[in-house]
Structure 1
Amino acid sequence: MGHRYETSAILRPSENTSIAWQTAAMPGCRLPHVWLEEGRSTLDLVGTAHTVIATPGTELDELTDAAKERGMPLDTHRVDVAVLGSLGADWVVVRPDQVVAAVGSADRPPDRDLADLLTGHSVTADSGAWSA
């Protein structure tokens, strides 16, 4: 518990260097366990593809379209707002190894630029488009 990659091969490191355990999803950290319904957990949602966990109102079409165009396997799950509130975000992208790749709010939904970073199509993560 509390494991964290201090740097990321995709996103710039976060300004937050605290390593205390918390339920907030942070890029470079393992996805926190939060109970869903009937004995399921956020961890149960992650399979062999990148996984997006989002509130019902979060726009995901741009990311899912871009992932499909790039041949990137992507699973999406809509969960209760309270669950995402526990994670401190409106959406979370998780790698197959259960490490958080990106988080965000509904006012900035995941998009093509994020798909480019996740699939290695972006020249550099320092472009400013996305950071941890």
Structure 2
Amino acid sequence: MELTHGGDWAGYRAKFGHDALDFSANVSPLGLPEGVALAIVNALPTADRYPDPLCRELCQKLSASENVHENQILCGNGAADLIFRLVLAKKPHRALLPAPTFAEYASALKTVGCEVEYFFLKEENDFEITE
């Protein structure tokens, strides 16, 4: 099985003998923040059920923190989930993607039959999109 999404720390460690600095999967080289560890411990009493699929409490707190209405907030199960949801909602016909990029953009677009073109970023242009 070949993975296109990052985060395969176990496979990398097995192959190279150490962990990678992986920017593709929201992996922090600093480890788990203390506040996150505490939130996990506090959530254990409800770990026997699915989380709120509408993320009500999270949306309320984000709304208050960012001073935006709750209906302007969309939470999902990671970036890949949100990318697929957006593509499935919009069903684009053509798309231009910079490359290299997050593999899920092309995967999601191809699920709706979208024609995908790539713009290959070059080191001599500092990996910036040019005309």
Structure possessing the higher relative contact order (Cα contacts under 8 Å, 6 or more residues apart): 1
User: Could you say which TM-score interval applies, normalised by the shorter chain?
Assistant: under 0.3
User: Which has the larger helix fraction?
Assistant: 2
The structure carrying a bigger strand percent of its residues is 1
Instruction: Give the TM-score normalised by the residue count of structure 1.
Output: 0.25
Give the TM-score normalised by structure 2.
0.25
Which has the greater radius of gyration? 2
